[in-house]
Amino acid sequence: MGQAEWAHDLARHLLKTTLPRRWAHTQGVAARALSLGPILGDEADTLTAAAYLHDIGYAPDLVDTGFHPLDGARYLRDVHQADDTLCRLVAHHSCAVNEALNRNLLDALTAEFDEERPELVEALTYCDMTTGPDGRHLDVTERLAEIHSRYGPEHLVSRSITASTPCILAAVKATKAALAAKTRDAPGRTTPA
Ligand SMILES: [Fe+2]
């Protein structure tokens, strides 16, 4: 069984019944990860697995600190002895350091989980931040606006997203550029004269 298949089954088990909308979002994020196959190569399975697992920290049984990237990553590390790359991607997805700072959990996050390679972290951020809460594809600006309207202006999540916006926009831009370059260079593609 590949990591993505294992991750799908675990995330479905943790989210489908208790948090069905979060499960719909998760499936949408995983679909976005699959669409990045041309730029991920051998790492497509890892990124798809991370997409399935990125929000499991919201599952009621896993909530500990209330900061879902850290709760999810710790669960993967401690309960499933998951691959380091998967744990790091979940811990740092979508520029989580800013919310960690606002929750006084930055030291714990960075002490326990190193950053993963920028291209992979950016790719997961791209997938998450171009997928709405019901799993539909959204432009990143629509997604940011949706988060602000869902939480309201004073909420810690909204303030953290504001701090993370440059990082999120840069991640989406970098991933789109990598995908466009790969598509442009694809064998068999002809350039108009
Ligand atoms: Fe998400």
pLDDT category at 135 given cuts 50, 70, 90 is very high
* DSSP string over 19-54: -HHHHHHHHHHHHHHHHTHHHHGGGHHHHHHHHHHT
- 127-145 mean pLDDT: 97
Separation of 94 CA from ligand 1 center, angstroms? 8
Question: Looking at the predicted structure, is the pLDDT value of residue 58 above 70?
Answer: yes
Q: What is the pLDDT of residue 193?
A: 43
- 71-97 mean pLDDT: 97
Question: Looking at the predicted structure, is the pLDDT value of residue 108 above 80?
Answer: yes
Residue 61, φ and ψ in degrees, nearest 5: -70, -20
Q: What is the pLDDT of residues 25-49, one digit of tens each?
A: 999 999 999 999 999 999 999 999 9
- Cβ proximity of 92 and 112 under 8 Å: no
% the chain with pLDDT above 70: 95
Least confident of 139-143, 158-162, 171-175, 187-191: 187-191
State the average pLDDT for the chain. 94
Separation of 181 CA from ligand 1 center, angstroms? 26
Q: What is the pLDDT of residues 16-30, one digit of tens each?
A: 999 999 999 999 999
Q: What is the pLDDT of residue 187?
A: 66
Separation of 92 CA from ligand 1 center, angstroms? 12
Separation of 188 CA from ligand 1 center, angstroms? 35
* DSSP string over 139-180: -HHHHHHHHHHHH-TTSHHHHHHHHHHHHHHHHHHHHHHHHH
Separation of 126 CA from ligand 1 center, angstroms? 10
- Cβ proximity of 12 and 23 under 8 Å: yes
% the chain with pLDDT above 90: 92
Question: Looking at the predicted structure, is the pLDDT value of residue 188 above 80?
Answer: no
Separation of 167 CA from ligand 1 center, angstroms? 16
User: Per residue, what are the HEC states of 111-139?
Assistant: HHCCCCCHHHHHHHHHHHHCECCCCCECC
